[in-house]
Amino acid sequence: MLLHLPTSVSEVQQHIAEGALPIGGATLVWATFQRDGFPDRAMSLRNLPEANVLGPETLGSAVVLQRIDDRVPEVLRRAAGSIGTGAVRRAATVGGNIVGSTLRCLLPAALVLDARATVLDAAGVYETDLTELLAKRPLLLGVNWRTPLVSGYLKQEGDPGGPPPFVVATAVHAEPDGTKRLRLAVRDGYEFLTATTPYDTDVDTVLHTVENTDIGALPADARELVHGRIRDILAR
Ligand SMILES: Cc1cc2nc3c(=O)[nH]c(=O)nc-3n(C[C@H](O)[C@H](O)[C@H](O)COP(=O)(O)OP(=O)(O)OC[C@H]3O[C@@H](n4cnc5c(N)ncnc54)[C@H](O)[C@@H]3O)c2cc1C
């Protein structure tokens, strides 16, 4: 296997055209390679500056989970810190988690931050939303968002080998029109549900709005966890 380490977007484009498979830390693909054989060409973005940014409103796809610190909003930092073991977090990347894994613990955090993805395909570099990113799975260069006023992340304890633990992510943003919005994202099994509501200091009004979304169809114990997180973020 030839491993390319491009340092510019044009080199990345060239390697995509040559059919190179993107890899991050290979924490997921390694087992597949060993079982099915190695691809002729692979490409890591670890030397590409655009894929290594880490700041208050941006995160590159080649950043390893272990590096995600308090420069990013709490919701993203907690999500990254909850993933796998220290060994996994030292190798696994943002791109591998959001685009390439099924658990995607970073995704609820990215959803409540209303993050946009910068991607690269045959059309060149462009920005897209997370729904399109997951549907088309182009090469991810990074994600960016607006800093929230406050955010939070809860991941329930899970059993090794058991179903994915329930996750609730929350964030409140000040909107350009002067209002505030609360965004919620839930991982239930392998499904991701979202809700957006105007921020209101009256908890019951917010809970009522959320109950009328898909989240309202979750089992009672899951909804109780969601309600707890809403109360918590509104209090903050
Ligand atoms: C022991 C263990 C525990 C784990 N626990 C959790 C957990 O609690 N929560 C959770 O969310 N995940 C968990 N995971 C999965 C973990 O998130 C993934 O292993 C990791 O995120 C994959 O990242 P990687 O960089 O190693 O990806 P790789 O293995 O290198 O690649 C995985 C896939 O992503 C694609 N890919 C990589 N980078 C990009 C990119 N920039 N653009 C497009 N596609 C790309 C690759 O082509 C490949 O298909 C666990 C894994 C292990 C081994």
Ligand 1 site, residue 28, Cβ cutoff 6 A = yes
Q: pLDDT at position 92, please?
A: 98
Does residue 141 carry a pLDDT above 90? yes
The pLDDT of 113-126, averaged and rounded, is 94
Find out whether 148 and 175 touch, Cβ atoms under 8 Å: no
Residue nearest to atom 50 of ligand 1 (CA): 84
Place of tokens 């209303």: 114
Ligand 1 site, residue 25, Cβ cutoff 6 A = yes
Residue nearest to atom 33 of ligand 1 (CA): 100
Q: Tell me the C-alpha distance between 62 and 116, whole Å.
A: 16
Residue nearest to atom 1 of ligand 1 (CA): 84
Ligand 1 site, residue 117, Cβ cutoff 6 A = no
Q: 6 by DSSP, 3-state: which? A: coil
Query: What tens digit of pLDDT does each residue of 188-225 get?
Result: 999 999 999 999 889 999 999 999 999 999 999 999 99
Residue nearest to atom 51 of ligand 1 (CA): 84
CA of 100 to the centre of ligand 1 (A): 5
Q: pLDDT at position 83, please?
A: 97
Q: pLDDT at position 170, please?
A: 98
Q: pLDDT at position 159, please?
A: 85
Q: pLDDT at position 20, please?
A: 97
Q: pLDDT band for position 123 (50/70/90)?
A: confident
152: left (phi over 0), alpha (psi -120 to 50) or beta: beta
CA of 33 to the centre of ligand 1 (A): 14
Ligand 1 site, residue 101, Cβ cutoff 6 A = yes
Does residue 4 carry a pLDDT above 90? yes
The pLDDT of 172-181, averaged and rounded, is 96
146 burial type by CB count under 10 A (0-12 exposed, 13-18 middle, 19+ buried): middle
Ligand 1 site, residue 21, Cβ cutoff 6 A = yes
Does residue 17 carry a pLDDT above 90? yes
Place of tokens 């990113």: 133
Phi, psi of 201 (to 5 degrees): -70, -15
Find out whether 80 and 89 touch, Cβ atoms under 8 Å: yes
CA of 177 to the centre of ligand 1 (A): 38
The residues, ordered by sequence, that sit 6+ positions from 114 with a Cβ below 8 Å of its Cβ are 145, 146, 171, 173, 183
Residue nearest to atom 47 of ligand 1 (CA): 22
Ligand 1 site, residue 102, Cβ cutoff 6 A = no
Q: pLDDT at position 89, please?
A: 98
CA of 23 to the centre of ligand 1 (A): 9
Does residue 158 carry a pLDDT above 90? no
